[in-house]
């Protein structure tokens, strides 16, 4: 190494030293490189970082001493047609199974038939598990005949994003290097869903290593326009749910991976507060950002599924014990909804502004709020660094070249460039993240729910880095030409041309930390007012 090497590195790092300073650094740098190489020679396995992210600021008080879920009773009779049954809410399906009007076995066959016919057009399932589904459904029906119910998801079939470990079933993470990966154990939420009576239909596709909608099986498609992708990375979970191939699905979000495919496919996606749901046994992308949540067709279903997923787990160092409380029968009286006027001026569509007017018509107190001007986009480098660390061996071994990428920028390039930002910069980014936590706390003080366009990059980035929950639901439709996959961080996808297609449009709600209930209540009221959530895609 010589001073010219250091000077070249400075250009990449965006800093500048003097010739004398470079000369003094030579010996120290050799030691630093030596220590780094020694550390890279150690296989860290699945060890998480010693430092963990906690979204709670000093003085935070956990809302609700006890968890409780209260949903309105189901009175709708079982439909005669299989298609109507397939698209019914989870709450209805569970009620019909519990009362004997429907068997889990029949419901499984309905979904397996739909998968056989429609999934070749959608590419939403990486693996279908018919034998497992039939066996689990038979077991649930046997318990039902004995008057035994395992819980609110008893006998209800679901799809699981293929980054959660399933014992004996391929869990390929969407990437070629892992396409034959078969885990020996189940992820924590898989066991939790099984104990609640849910029936596994199969593993839903995800963009390679949780990026976009392109994976080693091809591109997952949007049921409303199969010429375009479903967006990602929870592409298969959103596509399958929107197309009625399962009752609900599980997704994950690090930065838009539940919200973005829910927007594209017209599903209702719930990203819970960071730490609420265990990630043990899930592919780590960014330990301080990854979150697990349901993708459904109604707001009520997301709350029901989250009530099952909720709970602390010692095997997840980011797990936080928190009660989940939602009374869907309670009045909206007293709830305050905030909005950022600038977001509705800059990034909004007419449908976004109409959604705000609908929210105002609910009789809620409406309050203008603001998000301070901070360089939120800079926080993306935290994600890139954590992801590069999670997949360091993939990068250093050169196996990242086996990944098929058609969308730029791709993960491998992000992993590589992450190595050229200094540790000092990352400490400063961590401090910026704390400032962002303070900014979000100030914004949410005095309101129960925030409404806004999902495309507002500031809120998408800020709320993911602070751990605040988000609910995205359909509020209408728009005529759009076929769109490109879009950019990481919520960039608006560019049209690729062709005739327009009638596709869904959604709006986002954000709630206070560990207090998703008000957000769900407002979402449920908006869902009823919009009255578009039951419209189905014609594939």
Residue of higher predicted confidence among 10 and 359:
359
For residues 224-242, give the mean pLDDT.
97
The string of pLDDT tens digits covering residues 164-202 is 999 999 999 999 999 999 999 999 999 999 999 999 999
**Unique residue bearing structure tokens 């590069």:** 388
pLDDT beyond 80 at 486: no
Residue 98 in tokens: 């519990």
Of 454, 539, 524, nearest to 89 by C-alpha is: 524
pLDDT beyond 80 at 456: no
pLDDT beyond 60 at 141: yes
- Kindly report which listed range (27-36, 225-234, 261-270) carries the lowest average pLDDT score: 27-36
Can you give the pLDDT at residue 490?
44
Can you give the pLDDT at residue 403?
84
For residues 510-520, give the mean pLDDT.
98
The string of pLDDT tens digits covering residues 347-358 is 789 999 999 999
**Does 5 map to a domain?**
no
pLDDT beyond 60 at 406: no
The string of pLDDT tens digits covering residues 16-27 is 999 998 988 888
**Does 27 map to a domain?**
no
490: Cα within 13 Å, side-chain hemisphere: 25
Total domain count for the chain?
A: 1
**Does 56 map to a domain?**
no
Q: Is the dihedral of CA 447, 454, 263, 225 positive or negative?
A: positive
Measured distance CA(87)–CA(240) in Å, rounded: 11
Given a contact cutoff of 8 angstroms between Cβ atoms, the answer to whether 230 and 121 are in contact is: no
Dihedrals φ, ψ of 475, to 5°?
Answer: -130, 5
pLDDT beyond 70 at 405: no
**Does 125 map to a domain?**
yes
3-state helix, strand, coil in the chain (%, to 5): 40, 20, 40
**Does 368 map to a domain?**
yes
Which burial class, exposed, middle or buried, applies to 254 when counting CB atoms under 10 A from its CB (0-12, 13-18, 19+)?
buried
Given a contact cutoff of 8 angstroms between Cβ atoms, the answer to whether 377 and 461 are in contact is: yes
Active site residues: 161, 233, 257
What CATH number should be reported for the domain holding residue 315? 3.90.1300.10
Measured distance CA(3)–CA(314) in Å, rounded: 48
**Does 401 map to a domain?**
no
Can you give the pLDDT at residue 520?
98
**Does 450 map to a domain?**
yes
The string of pLDDT tens digits covering residues 259-285 is 999 999 999 999 999 999 999 999 999
pLDDT class for 457, splitting at 50, 70, 90?
Answer: low
* DSSP element (H, E) containing 126: strand 125-128
Per-residue HEC secondary structure of 185-219 comes to CCCHHHHHHHHCCCEEEEEECCCCCCCCCEECCEE
- Kindly report which listed range (20-24, 91-95, 121-125, 232-236) carries the lowest average pLDDT score: 20-24
Between vectors from CA 397 to CA 395 and to CA 402, what angle results, nearest 5°? 75
Can you give the pLDDT at residue 489?
42
CA distances for 316 relative to 172, 281, 388, angstroms: 21, 9, 20
**Does 88 map to a domain?**
yes
Can you give the pLDDT at residue 233?
95
CA distances for 323 relative to 99, 250, 276, angstroms: 29, 20, 9
Pairing of strands 495-511, 449-452: antiparallel
Measured distance CA(479)–CA(178) in Å, rounded: 38
297: Cα within 13 Å, side-chain hemisphere: 27
Can you give the pLDDT at residue 194?
98
> Quick one: what percent of the chain has pLDDT higher than 70?
97
Measured distance CA(231)–CA(488) in Å, rounded: 10
Measured distance CA(101)–CA(370) in Å, rounded: 50
Range of the domain at 217: 81-376+423-530
């Amino acid at each position: 190494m010589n001073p010219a090497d250091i000077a070249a590195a400075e250009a990449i790092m965006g800093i500048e030293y003097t010739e004398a300073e470079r000369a003094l650094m030579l010996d120290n740098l050799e030691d630093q490189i030596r220590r780094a190489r020694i550390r890279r020679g150690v296989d860290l396995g699945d060890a998480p970082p010693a430092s963990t992210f906690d979204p709670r600021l000093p003085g935070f008080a956990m809302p609700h001493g006890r968890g409780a879920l209260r949903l309105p009773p189901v009175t709708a009779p079982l439909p005669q047609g299989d298609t109507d049954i397939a698209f019914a809410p989870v709450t209805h399906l569970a009620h019909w199974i519990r009362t004997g009007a429907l068997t889990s076995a029949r419901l499984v066959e309905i979904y397996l038939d739909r998968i056989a016919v429609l999934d070749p057009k959608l590419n939403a399932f990486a693996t279908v598990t018919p034998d497992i589904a039939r066996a689990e459904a038979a077991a649930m029906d046997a318990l039902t005949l004995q008057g035994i119910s395992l819980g609110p998801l008893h006998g209800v079939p679901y799809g699981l994003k293929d980054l959660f470990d399933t014992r004996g079933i391929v869990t390929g993470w969407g990437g070629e290097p892992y396409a034959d990966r078969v885990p020996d154990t189940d992820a924590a939420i898989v066991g939790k869903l099984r104990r609640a009576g849910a029936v596994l239909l199969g593993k839903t596709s995800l963009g390679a290593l949780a990026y976009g909608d392109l994976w080693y099986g091809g591109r997952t498609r949007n049921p409303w326009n199969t010429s375009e992708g479903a967006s990602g990375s929870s592409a298969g979970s959103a596509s399958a749910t929107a197309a009625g191939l399962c009752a609900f699905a599980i997704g994950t979000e690090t930065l838009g991976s539940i919200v973005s495919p829910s927007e594209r496919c017209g599903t209702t996606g719930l990203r819970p507060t960071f730490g609420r749901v265990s990630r043990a046994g899930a592919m780590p992308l960014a330990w301080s950002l990854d979150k697990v949540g349901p993708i459904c067709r109604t707001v009520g279903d997301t709350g029901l599924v989250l009530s099952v997923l909720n709970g602390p787990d010692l095997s997840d160092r980011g797990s936080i014990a928190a009660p989940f409380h939602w009374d869907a029968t309670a009045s909206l009286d007293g709830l305050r909804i905030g909005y950022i006027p600038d977001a509705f001026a800059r990034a909004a569509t007419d449908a976004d502004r109409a959604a705000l007017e609908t929210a105002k018509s609910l009789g809620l107190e409406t309050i203008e709020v603001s998000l301070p001007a901070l360089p939120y986009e800079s926080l993306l480098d935290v994600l890139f660094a954590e992801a590069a660390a999670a997949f360091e061996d993939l990068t250093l071994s050169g196996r990242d070249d086996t990944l098929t990428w058609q969308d730029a920028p791709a993960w491998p390039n992000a992993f590589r460039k992450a190595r050229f930002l200094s540790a000092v910069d990352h400490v400063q980014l961590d401090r910026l993240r704390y400032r962002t936590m303070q900014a979000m706390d100030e914004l949410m003080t005095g309101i129960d729910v925030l409404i806004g366009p999902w495309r507002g990059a500031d809120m998408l980035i800020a709320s993911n880095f602070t751990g605040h929950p988000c609910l995205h639901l359909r509020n209408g439709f728009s005529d759009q030409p076929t769109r490109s996959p879009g950019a990481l961080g919520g960039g608006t996808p560019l049209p690729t041309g062709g005739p327009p297609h009638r596709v869904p449009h959604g709006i986002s709600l954000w709630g206070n930390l560990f207090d998703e209930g008000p957000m769900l209540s407002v979402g449920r009221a908006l869902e009823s007012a919009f009255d578009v959530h039951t419209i189905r895609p014609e594939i």
